[in-house]
Amino acid sequence: MSDKQASIFTTSDGTEIYYKDWGSGQPVVFSHGWPLTADAWESQMMFLAENGFRAIAHDRRGHGRSSQPWHGNEMDTYADDLAELLDHLDIKDAMLVGHSTGGGEVTRYLGRHGTSRVAKAVLVGAVPPIMLKSENNPVGLPISAFDEIRKGVATDRSQFFQDITTPFFGANREGAQVSQGMRDSFWLQGMMGGLKNQYDCIKAFSETDFTEDLRKIDIPVLIIHGDDDQIVPFEGSAKLSVELLPQAELKVYPSGDHALADTHKDDLNADLLAFAQA
């Protein structure tokens, strides 16, 4: 247990991982989406910490305030870093919460390291089972979609991170209420990370197959997804994951976009608290 603070710990390969550790009580551990940081969860962390939980979130390697190593920018290492963080803090009976790429990180962690430290998990707008379209996954997105992301990041990362806020927050939808502040926060968090790390992470979040990880998970999992998610479409992700998980509950947010932590903050906070207390 710790008082409100932010810290850095060093993984076994020498990578420094920044994390926040707020409040006390049953731990809730958050994993953020690409190309963001732990700050993407700040509203949920404060809400849960104020409601009797210990809220922890780290910046994935290559993102935010963590090291930007040339190596290890793939899902197995992301999961191993999370495992080392949970070991470092001796976390027990936790609820893991992952958004988008972070949902993949949580899923790979559970498939690779088991559930001895975890009681339940939540996947929010998460990338599993696999985003890439193939013969076995006809509802996925074509490789050209991810090549365009790679091209945008490599050509003009700053402008790309500004442009992608439109589909990310659903700002192109009628009635959308997306502030400039939300867009600025996305851009700022994105620019804190490393170019090589974020470039490599595109392959990690799009081509990693989490099917067997999902089948192994022996704890309750709540899946939350917007049915108008333009970044990780519902049909190719949550709809398939709930069929693979042994103990899953699906909650679909009507007209929900990919940025539920911001655009549907109150609904998401309430659902996370209810699931944590169940």
| CA pair distance 145, 258, nearest whole angstrom | 16
Q: What is the pLDDT of residues 199-216, one digit of tens each?
A: 999 999 999 999 999 999
> pLDDT by residue (tens digit) across 37-83?
999 999 999 999 999 999 999 999 999 999 999 999 999 999 999 99
Please give the structure tokens belonging to residue 243: 């069929």
Q: What is the pLDDT of residues 189-202, one digit of tens each?
A: 999 999 999 999 99
Rounded CA gap, 207 and 61, in Å? 19
CA distance linking residue 262 with residue 273, whole number of Å: 16
Is residue 178 scored above 70 in pLDDT?
Answer: yes
Question: What domains lie within the chain, and their CATH numbers?
Answer: 8-277 (3.40.50.1820)
Give mean pLDDT, residues 114-121. 98
Going by their DSSP bridges, the two strands 248-253 and 16-22 should be labelled as unpaired
Q: Please list the active-site residues.
A: 100, 229, 258
Task: Check whether 105 has a pLDDT greater than 70.
Answer: yes
- Residue-level pLDDT at 4: 52
Q: What are the φ/ψ torsions at residue 130 (nearest 5 degrees)?
A: -165, 135
At residue 5 the predicted structure's pLDDT band, cuts being 50, 70 and 90, is low
Under the banding of pLDDT at 50, 70 and 90, the label for residue 1 is very low
